[in-house]
Structure 1
């Protein structure tokens, strides 16, 4: 993107994210990239009709739509575009039993289900369909979605944007980055499983998945086993009307 536009401005309402962006972006390599602390719904530092493209990756589900669309209309030039993309849960495309167990773990009432922040998680699950640009101000509205299958790679429906070959140990670490797991930990402060063994709720669900999938049962180095993972996703494009 920096090579396609004369100026690129990254925004986030969090000081921490802005600091991380600044430290990971080379000013020498990307002199036209800057960062500002700001919410997407309030971009007062931008002039009216001064922007060609607004992009949000795995963020639009947090936006307040009642404030978002008027602000997007204000800052975008006529014919300017919004591009919002988000991804939901991952799927082990060769392992339907493990995928079903993980889904129940994600959203079951006795697991992580109550610990997702809503309505944001629901919007992601629904592939951003709940983001509705007002048709009075926006046209050329397009949606591109992907729902993974469990009959092998690319067995899902739609256009795939995100996949990765990952070790099971890496997959466990990824699950522990989920906000719902962090919220669960904050409530229960559990360092061990209910039966006293070392581990936590993530160890429990992976043990259940290993029991269901024979290929995952190798002791010792089972965390080194590589599996193919795909994420469901949704992309929303909309163009500001010429009027």
Structure 2
């Protein structure tokens, strides 16, 4: 997680390229919360809130607090929430963002004061020997905790490319994989969709007041390696799916913490010879994009942040490997830089409530 806490980390690019959380996920969480028998809707807390992608979904609660160790992320979250049309009004009073960690909330959250505690795409970094006690301490009676992560992306129309995606993210060959440059064991816990996170009772023992634990796996029938679901847990239909341009998919690759670390260790990779595959098409796509940006500027419209598609570094090579693989599977498939492709992410969710 240290990559995201660095002062120079580009939180804006990170936010723009990440997938959005579907409303159905929050409907599922809110329905679980409603059935506690004593559910209240006063305060919600987003642990490891990052750039605030999940935080606005907590608007049914009267007060919302986002907590993150990175000031850059918090500033981006404040800006993001302020830009949204959230009812009722008074966003500045209702949404607060504080610097802190999930393992120690003593200075930010009082005992028994939280109705919903969430962690979106941050729980794989947690020290659960500390987070479960803090969860129990801050939750109100009848309060809910919902912790989830999404694993490596997939191209659902091209399942034959899943091994290539897995190899890039989990492999050990530095010529074709960033797998060794993710922080472990956090990344492994994410790849395994939180199956290694202990139940609260195994940490809290007889003092545990956290019950009705549910583990949900929204990954369809294509369970990502190296996951083996616990006995009795059947996969649910995938929830997180997004249509992206190939250009934006490359932008998503560039938000990976492992890629930043990889290029710190191998700066020469950034000077690799340009990958010639699709080069003429990509140059043409860039020319058209530049022309449209000039027109947009002339119309006083806001142009979107550009993503460079030129070069030969490891992310470009992987990106072009995927495009080539799609063409081998379907020669008529659109693989231009600004053509669209369906992407989905397997999602794992842990729910519990304080009795």
Pairwise TM-score range, normalised by the shorter structure: 0.7 to 0.9
Residues in 2 aligned to 1:26 and 1:196: alpha-carbon distance in whole angstroms: 41
Name structure 2 gaps, 5 residues minimum: 1-56, 84-88, 223-233, 277-310
1:71 to 131, 134, 138: 134
Would you identify which runs of 4 or more consecutive aligned residues in structure 1 move more than 3 Å?
194-198, 215-218
Partner of 2:240: 162
Is the alpha carbon distance of 1:4 and 1:112 closer, same or farther for their aligned partners in structure 2, counting shifts above 3 Å? same
- How big is the shift at 1:109? 0.4
Is the alpha carbon distance of 1:221 and 1:165 closer, same or farther for their aligned partners in structure 2, counting shifts above 3 Å? closer
- How big is the shift at 1:10? 0.9
- How big is the shift at 1:64? 0.8
Residues in 2 aligned to 1:131 and 1:38: alpha-carbon distance in whole angstroms: 21
Matched, 1:24 2:80: yes
Q: How does 1:52-91 map to 2 (within 5 A)?
A: 52-91=115-154
Residues in 1 aligned to 2:321 and 2:186: alpha-carbon distance in whole angstroms: 28
Q: In the comparison of the two structures, how many residue pairs are matched?
A: 236
Cα RMSD (Å): 2.6
Residues in 1 aligned to 2:235 and 2:213: alpha-carbon distance in whole angstroms: 20
Q: 1:99-120 CA distances to partner (integer Å, 9 max, x unpaired)?
A: 3212111111011110111111
2:352 to 201, 222, 238: 238
User: Which gives a bigger RCO, structure 1 or 2 (Cα 8 Å, sep 6+)?
Assistant: 1
Partner of 2:325: 212
Partner of 2:111: 48
Matched, 1:222 2:327: no
- How big is the shift at 1:162? 0.9
Structure 1 stretch 89-98 or stretch 190-199: which is displaced more?
A: 190-199
- How big is the shift at 1:140? 0.6
Structure 1 stretch 109-118 or stretch 189-198: which is displaced more?
A: 189-198
Name structure 1 gaps, 5 residues minimum: 151-155
Matched, 1:174 2:287: no
Is the alpha carbon distance of 1:77 and 1:203 closer, same or farther for their aligned partners in structure 2, counting shifts above 3 Å? same
Partner of 1:117: 183
Is the alpha carbon distance of 1:159 and 1:216 closer, same or farther for their aligned partners in structure 2, counting shifts above 3 Å? closer
Is the alpha carbon distance of 1:14 and 1:233 closer, same or farther for their aligned partners in structure 2, counting shifts above 3 Å? same
Q: Secondary structure at the match of 2:154?
A: strand
| Bigger share in helix | 2
- How big is the shift at 1:131? 2.1
Matched, 1:193 2:306: no
Matched, 1:4 2:60: yes
Q: 1:190-225 CA distances to partner (integer Å, 9 max, x unpaired)?
A: 22336887321122223333333326778x972123
Residues in 2 aligned to 1:211 and 1:46: alpha-carbon distance in whole angstroms: 50
- How big is the shift at 1:47? 1.9
Structure 1 stretch 157-166 or stretch 103-112: which is displaced more?
A: 157-166
- How big is the shift at 1:147? 2.4
Residues in 2 aligned to 1:163 and 1:22: alpha-carbon distance in whole angstroms: 26
| Bigger share in strand | 1
Q: 1:148-202 CA distances to partner (integer Å, 9 max, x unpaired)?
A: 567xxxxx94132211011222211211111111111111002233688732112
Residues in 2 aligned to 1:79 and 1:103: alpha-carbon distance in whole angstroms: 40
Give TM-score, length-normalised by structure 1.
0.87
- How big is the shift at 1:2? 5.0
